[in-house]
């Protein structure tokens, strides 16, 4: 049936990883509440894992919000691999499927939606995809690239040619001189660039994804990013000279601690009863996000450091944190050593935990969502970056915004260092400077979202510019 509506209709395709699906779902809700029709496309694998994790999720994760009046449609598509394939264990094969095969499935589903008579105006897709501008062009759609990381990381990848020219690409252990020629970036040390920019071997599947994705992103009609203008002012201003680039973050659920649409890919344990019994600011929350892996050696050192610290903690230990083939990697007797002051769980509603007054610090791998959520809850961080953008995020948290400290400096931390740093952050006197700074950052983030604030304005401007670009004939 032909679609007569003149609302802007966007097909939204998130990258099929937890840290990308979460902000994408929230952005989809935000746009729908501003009058957009959204067709949200999850991979069958993400959908399956989410459904398994939450018995309440039916075939359509948006059915409830649709009942409340938002026009969000939901479709699933294959990522090219069997649903039951272990993507965590076979990371490179998974990424290779996303690089080489997924575009064909995505294109087919876009084609089906359009052929069904629905009027579609734009494609919103994760910047890490290598194909969206081509697919958008083929179907006459505008392409909006959604970047779920910081402006700083975006600009590093965007200026890859400059990094190569100055010998700052793939140069780990070979160069220490500062990078001071990227527009809008005062100076950054090579060790603070992303892991993919540092690694000596640049032919991996992830490198191919990044190289091709940033070539494709140069053709985007708009880039929208989950960051805040005031946190990265100069970097963003410089980017805006090259691209229609909008900082609209932080993109959270309207009820921060309770996601209206369930997106967790593991079952959430409720920690509230345990947390309610703990004094304010006394508990350390420990999590390494949804995808990063630790070596067994690292995990044991962190576990022993936590044990030595005597601090109370909640540790989210995903069953695949070391490998799906080693589901019980903790040292013997660890559980007994920390009994009474710790809970170890596979997954939780992180926003609800961080927002609890008992939480006083966050030992984090520095995933960008975790950082935004922690700052929003005024929780200072202990940084243990593992790969990708997390090294660059650490620099922002520790060196620039001063809302956290390092757990490691380049090499692996010993249990004594882990314990010492935990106590440094959690103790009242030494942790106070970070707690004070994070209060300020929270205010900045909050102001950005208020009417007239930078993120609110940028969102309005983006929507205005987008509508102006939708050709009249398409909107009829």
Residue 22 binds ligand UPG, judged by CB under 6 A: yes
Residue 320 binds ligand UPG, judged by CB under 6 A: no
Tokens representing residue 221 in the block: 């009609």
Residue 373 binds ligand UPG, judged by CB under 6 A: yes
> What is the distance between the alpha carbons of residues 250 and 226, in angstroms, rounded to a whole number?
6
Residue 369 CB, nearest distance to ligand UPG (Å)? Answer: 3
With CB under 6 A as the contact rule, which of the stretches 168-176, 299-307, 367-375, 462-470 interacts with ligand UPG? 367-375
> What is the distance between the alpha carbons of residues 408 and 332, in angstroms, rounded to a whole number?
24
With CB under 6 A as the contact rule, which of the stretches 56-64, 84-92, 162-170, 386-394 interacts with ligand UPG? 386-394
Residue 124 CB, nearest distance to ligand UPG (Å)? Answer: 15
Residue closer to ligand UPG, measured from CB, 390 or 454: 390
Residue 192 binds ligand UPG, judged by CB under 6 A: no
Residue 264 binds ligand UPG, judged by CB under 6 A: yes
Residue 250 binds ligand UPG, judged by CB under 6 A: no
Residue 440 CB, nearest distance to ligand UPG (Å)? Answer: 22
Residue 298 binds ligand UPG, judged by CB under 6 A: no
Residue 45 binds ligand UPG, judged by CB under 6 A: no
> In this structure, what are the phi and psi dihedrals at residue 145, rounded to the nearest 5 degrees?
-90, 125
> What is the distance between the alpha carbons of residues 332 and 133, in angstroms, rounded to a whole number?
52
184: left (phi over 0), alpha (psi -120 to 50) or beta: left
With CB under 6 A as the contact rule, which of the stretches 158-166, 239-247, 329-337, 347-355 interacts with ligand UPG? 347-355
Contact 355, 257 (CB under 8 A): yes
Residue 347 CB, nearest distance to ligand UPG (Å)? Answer: 4
Q: Which of 26, 193, 312, 369 binds ligand UPG (CB under 6 A)?
A: 369
- Nearest-5° angle of CA 214, CA 216, CA 218? 75
Residue 370 binds ligand UPG, judged by CB under 6 A: yes
Residue 389 binds ligand UPG, judged by CB under 6 A: yes
Tokens representing residue 182 in the block: 């990227």
Residue 26 binds ligand UPG, judged by CB under 6 A: no
> What is the distance between the alpha carbons of residues 84 and 166, in angstroms, rounded to a whole number?
44
Residue 127 binds ligand UPG, judged by CB under 6 A: no
Residue closer to ligand UPG, measured from CB, 120 or 248: 248
Residues 6+ apart with CB under 8 A from 172: 190, 191, 198, 199, 200
- Nearest-5° angle of CA 83, CA 84, CA 85? 95
Residue 92 CB, nearest distance to ligand UPG (Å)? Answer: 15
- Please give the size of the binding site for ligand UPG, defined by CB under 6 A: 27
Q: Does residue 144 sit in helix, strand or coil?
A: strand
Residue 407 CB, nearest distance to ligand UPG (Å)? Answer: 16
Contact 13, 46 (CB under 8 A): no
Residue closer to ligand UPG, measured from CB, 118 or 257: 257
Contacts of ligand UPG in 137-156 (CB under 6 A): 148-149
Contact 296, 376 (CB under 8 A): no
Residue 117 CB, nearest distance to ligand UPG (Å)? Answer: 35
Residue 470 CB, nearest distance to ligand UPG (Å)? Answer: 28
Residue 20 binds ligand UPG, judged by CB under 6 A: yes
Tokens representing residue 245 in the block: 């680039």
Give, as one character, the DSSP assignment of residue 169: S
Q: Of 248, 29, 294, 215, whose CA–CA distance to 148 is shortest? A: 248
Q: Of 45, 61, 135, 157, whose CA–CA distance to 93 is shortest? A: 45
Strands (E), 229-354: 245-247, 283-287, 312-316, 342-345
> What is the distance between the alpha carbons of residues 161 and 141, in angstroms, rounded to a whole number?
29
Residue closer to ligand UPG, measured from CB, 155 or 419: 155
Place of tokens 């290779």: 96
Residue 216 binds ligand UPG, judged by CB under 6 A: no
Tokens representing residue 76 in the block: 């699933």
Residue closer to ligand UPG, measured from CB, 148 or 406: 148
Residue closer to ligand UPG, measured from CB, 290 or 312: 290
Q: What mask of x and - would describe binding to ligand UPG in positions 274 to 293, judged by CB under 6 A?
A: -------------x-xxxx-
Contact 383, 394 (CB under 8 A): yes
The string of DSSP letters for 384-422 reads ---STTHHHHHIIIIIIS--EEES-BSBPPPHHHHHHHH
With CB under 6 A as the contact rule, which of the stretches 63-71, 130-138, 341-349, 440-448 interacts with ligand UPG? 341-349
Residues that bind ligand UPG (CB under 6 A): 17-20, 22, 148-149, 264, 287, 289-292, 316, 347-351, 367-370, 373, 388-390
């Amino acid at each position: 049936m032909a679609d007569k509506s003149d609302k802007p209709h966007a097909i939204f395709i998130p990258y099929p990883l937890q840290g990308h699906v979460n902000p994408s779902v929230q952005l989809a809700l935000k746009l729908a509440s501003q009058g957009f029709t959204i067709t949200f496309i999850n991979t069958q694998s993400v959908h399956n894992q989410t459904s398994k994790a939450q018995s309440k999720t039916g075939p359509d994760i948006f059915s409830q919000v649709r009942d409340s009046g938002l026009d969000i449609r939901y479709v699933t598509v294959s990522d090219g691999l069997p649903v039951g394939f272990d993507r965590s264990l076979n990371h490179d094969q998974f990424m290779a499927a996303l690089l080489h095969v997924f575009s064909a499935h995505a294109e087919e589903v876009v084609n089906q939606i359009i052929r069904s008579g629905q009027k579609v105006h734009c494609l919103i897709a994760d910047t890490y995809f290598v194909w969206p501008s081509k697919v958008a062009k083929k179907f006459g759609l505008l392409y909006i690239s959604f970047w779920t990381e910081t402006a700083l990381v975006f600009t590093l990848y965007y200026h890859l040619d400059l990094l190569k020219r100055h010998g700052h690409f793939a140069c780990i252990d070979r160069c220490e001189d500062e990078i001071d020629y990227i527009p809008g970036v005062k100076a950054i040390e090579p060790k603070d660039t992303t892991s993919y920019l540092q690694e000596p071997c640049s032919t991996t599947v992830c490198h191919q994804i990044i190289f091709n994705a940033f070539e494709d992103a140069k053709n985007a009609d708009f880039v929208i990013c989950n960051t805040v203008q005031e946190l990265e002012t100069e970097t963003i201003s410089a980017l805006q000279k090259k691209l229609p680039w909008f900082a609209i973050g932080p993109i959270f659920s309207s009820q921060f601690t309770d996601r209206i649409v369930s997106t967790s890919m593991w079952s959430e344990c409720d920690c509230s009863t345990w947390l309610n019994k703990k004094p304010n600011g006394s508990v350390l929350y420990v999590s390494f996000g949804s995808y990063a892996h630790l070596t067994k050696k690292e995990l044991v050192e962190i576990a022993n450091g936590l044990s030595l610290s005597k601090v109370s903690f909640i540790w989210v230990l995903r069953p695949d944190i070391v490998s799906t083939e080693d589901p019980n990697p903790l040292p013997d007797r660890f559980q007994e050593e920390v009994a009474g002051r710790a809970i170890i769980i596979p997954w939780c509603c992180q926003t609800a935990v961080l927002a609890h007054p008992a939480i006083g610090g966050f030992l984090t791998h520095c995933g960008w969502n975790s950082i935004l959520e922690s700052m929003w809850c005024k929780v200072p961080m202990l940084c243990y970056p593992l790969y990708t953008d997390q090294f660059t995020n650490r620099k922002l948290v520790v060196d620039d915004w001063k809302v956290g400290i390092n757990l490691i400096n380049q090499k692996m931390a010993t249990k004594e260092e882990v314990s010492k740093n935990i106590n440094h952050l959690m103790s009242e006197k030494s942790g106070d400077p970070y707690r004070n700074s994070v209060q300020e950052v929270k205010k900045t983030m909050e102001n950005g979202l208020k009417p007239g604030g930078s993120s609110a304005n940028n969102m309005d401007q983006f929507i205005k510019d987008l509508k102006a670009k939708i050709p009249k004939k398409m909107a009829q």
